[in-house]
Amino acid sequence: MTIASGKQKSAQYTASMAQAPIPQEQRSGLSRQLVTSELLDTATALFAKKGYESTTLLDIAKALGISRPGLYNYVSSKEELLIMLVEQVSQGLAEVLEQLTARADLSPTQKLRDVVALLVRQRTQHPDQFRILDRSETVLPEPVGSEHREAKRKILREVMAVIETGIERGEFRPVDARTAALSLLGMCNWVAWWFSRGSDVEETVATVTDLAQNMLVRPGAPGPEAETTRTVEEIRTLLDRLAPRR
């Protein structure tokens, strides 16, 4: 998809949405999704501040400005919040990465840049979600604990596949794919721990993406500028797919 065609489709879609009324059921679904997203961000911020065990559902309800019975419309326990985090942070990300790495129209170098940009952007926009889930891995209830671990393994496999293909095609230096993939994921995940709110997200994304490319791409290999450029809006569209599924 070219930038021009993407913008044209976006404009056409926006115009059609402006003309056509949104069904009540769809409005309700969008509203619930927005509230659930805010709920996760609020809850994880409290978990980070007070600790998971010390935070109550009443604390979360007060922070959201709703009653505790109102909160039960979205979640019934703190464990359910952890389940929602797994669905969004690990399972959702694994599914999006699988779709991205399967694209035949992108070279390994561009896939590498897109994967890193997606990971870093998610970590900068929702750092508390990643940090709390990372800290809570050992207390996740089953079967969600096993699902989370499998999603992490899937993410590793997808990144390894990109690196292995890049090596086979001569774009990447011959390195151990698993070690390189773990190093890339560690670099991206660590952003959630040091990124400061209010800092420039785009600058951070660009810097880490360039570092990842420089780490793997063989000198003299074609750069992403020789390919169809993907826009920031496309990356954000991928992130939108990680919305909570409640």
pLDDT, average across residues 177-198: 94
Domains in the chain with CATH codes = 82-240 (1.10.357.10)
Q: What tens digit of pLDDT does each residue of 120-166 get?
A: 999 998 888 888 888 888 878 888 889 999 999 999 999 999 999 99
Mean per-residue pLDDT, 41-66: 88
Mean pLDDT of 82-92: 83
Whether a cis peptide bond, with omega within 30° of 0, leads into 219 is no
pLDDT class of 83 with cuts at 50, 70, 90: confident
